[in-house]
Structure 1
Amino acid sequence: MVEIERKYLVNGLGYRKEARAHIRIVQAFLSTDPDRTIRVRCTGPHGFLTIKGRTCDKGTTRREWEYEIPLKDAEEMLALCVTPPIEKIRYQVEFGLHTFEVDEFTGLNQGLTLAEVELESADEVIEKPSWLGQEVTGDIRYYNSQLSLKPYTTWND
């Protein structure tokens, strides 16, 4: 399966009023190798194992496989991960023809809020809500695998 998405910084809290749902996510990585990222995620009562390939040069496209696994297995796998867990609250926001997933990070990534939108094609035009900020698609600092290695609160710029 191919994942095509764009990622943005978020300005303000306007997305909260527009959100149709939100959920807490805890995830960590069994591998942060750019050629084969392997993530374990606990989302509410569900567990997931996700394998992602290398991102294309523009940062919009990569191969991805995600499998639901028993929550207990996912919780146990978190202890095997090579990175500390990332914790966040994810808001689902419908805007125009798209659904934006807005992640408010907590813990070591406190203060960072990112929005992602999945697309049908890399050149698809999207309607942008007012709270959507600078695009950071392709900036590896904002990949969750990299945030687990170098958390936002440790950045000096």
Structure 2
Amino acid sequence: MQEIERKFLVTDSSYRTQAESSSRIRQGYICSARGRTVRVRIRDEKGFLTIKGPSDEAGLSRYEWERELPLNEAEELFRLCEPGMIDKVRYLVPCGNHVFEVDEFHGENEGLVVAEVELRDVSEPFETPSFLGEEVTGQVKYYNSFLMKEPYSRWK
């Protein structure tokens, strides 16, 4: 399945009161090579294994495959992961015909808040909520697989 998304920095915390739900996410990477990642995720009490291919030139689109796993299997797979862990709370914020996923990072990425919107087409229009700031689509340093290796707290 092809994933098309745009990513933005978040300028204020108004997304929290606009969110219809939130969940805690912990994730690690079995493989974080550029262009092919294998991710293990626990979202609340469910496990997932996700494989992603390389992004297109603009960083908008890439192949993504995901399957749900039993929680105990996801926890076992964490032992195979590279060093570093992503810990975040994801807020689902409806806006117009879309739902923005706002990730509030914790741990070594504390202070970083990023919003993503998934689209059906690269040119699909969408309403922009007031909390959206600079677009960072395609900027590798904002990929979770990069944040695992170079956490936000170490940026200059």
User: TM-score category by the smaller chain?
Assistant: over 0.9
State the partner residue of 1:47.
47
Number of aligned positions between the proteins = 156
Partner SS, residue 74 of structure 2: helix
Give distance in 1, aligned partners of 2:58 and 2:125.
16
Question: Amino acid of the residue matched to residue 104 of structure 2?
Answer: E
d(CA) in 2 for partners of 1:90 and 1:75? Answer: 20
Q: CA RMSD in A?
A: 0.6
2:100 — aligned with what? Answer: 100
Which residue number corresponds to residue 142 of structure 2? 142
User: Displacement of 1:45 after TM fit?
Assistant: 1.4
Residues in 1 aligned to 2:118 and 2:137: alpha-carbon distance in whole angstroms: 12
Instruction: Indicate the residue corresponding to 1:153 in structure 2.
Output: 153
Q: Separation in 2 of the partners of 1:140 and 1:59?
A: 9
With normalisation by structure 1, the TM-score equals: 0.98
Structure 1, unpaired ranges of 5+: none
**Contact (CA 8 Å) 1:87, 1:105: kept in 2 or not?**
yes
More deviation, 116-125/74-83 = 74-83
Secondary structure, aligned partner of 1:58: coil
CA offset at residue 130 of structure 1? 0.7
Q: Post-superposition, which runs of at least 4 consecutive aligned residues in structure 1 deviate over 3 A?
A: none
State how far apart, in whole Å, the 1-side matches of 2:79 and 2:19 are: 32
Structure 1 residue 85 displacement after superposition: 1.1
The corresponding residue for 1:128 is 128
Question: For residues 83-142 of structure 1, what are the alpha-carbon distances to aligned partners after superposition, in whole Å with 9 as ceiling and x for unaligned?
Answer: 311000000000011000000000000000000100000111111011011000000000
Separation in 2, partners of 1:112, 1:35: 23
AA aligned to 1:81 is: C
How many Å separate the matches in 2 of 1:83 and 1:7? 25
Question: Distance in 1 between the 2:84 and 2:71 partners?
Answer: 18
User: Which runs of no fewer than 5 residues in structure 2 stay unpaired?
Assistant: none
The two structures have a TM-score, normalised by structure 2, of: 0.98
What is residue 6 of structure 2 aligned with on the other side? 6
Q: Distance in 2 between matches of 1:139 and 1:154?
A: 17
Counterparts of 1:53-68 in structure 2 under 5 Å? 53-68=53-68
- Deviation of residue 35 (structure 1)? 2.3
Distance, in Å, in 2 between the alignment partners of 1:155 and 1:131 is 23
Three-state SS of the structure 2 residue aligned to 1:32 is strand
Corresponding residue for 1:27? 27
Aligned partners of 2:149, 2:124: CA distance in 1, in Å? 31
